[in-house]
Amino acid sequence: MGGGEFVMKDFEKEELLIRMDERVKTIFNRMHDFDRLFTNHLHHHEMWENDIRKQMRWWVAVALTAATGSGAMMMGVI
């Protein structure tokens, strides 16, 4: 037993394996939660972008209508 060898008893090996297994499960569960969080975050951004597109189309339509109307008024059509 010289030269820095380390001998573990059987119950110590089992305890170490159990702790390692618990840590792996914890890390995996956190990764799963992060994946869900990230997916929800992307969905939120997608909804936000779609809302902005709808609003921009509406505002462009309003501006175009106003411009067309004022142009027609200046030409004396209306």
Q: What is the pLDDT of residues 9-39, one digit of tens each?
A: 888 888 888 888 888 888 877 877 878 888 8
- DSSP letter assigned to residue 1: -
- Give the residue-averaged pLDDT of 42-59: 90
Query: Model's pTM, two decimal places?
Result: 0.42
CA–CA separation, 50 and 56 (whole Å) = 10
**How confident is the model at residue 72, as a pLDDT?**
84
Structure tokens at 72: 């027609």
CA–CA separation, 4 and 54 (whole Å) = 70
CA–CA separation, 25 and 32 (whole Å) = 10
pLDDT-above-70 percentage for the chain: 92
The residue with tokens 């305890």 is 15
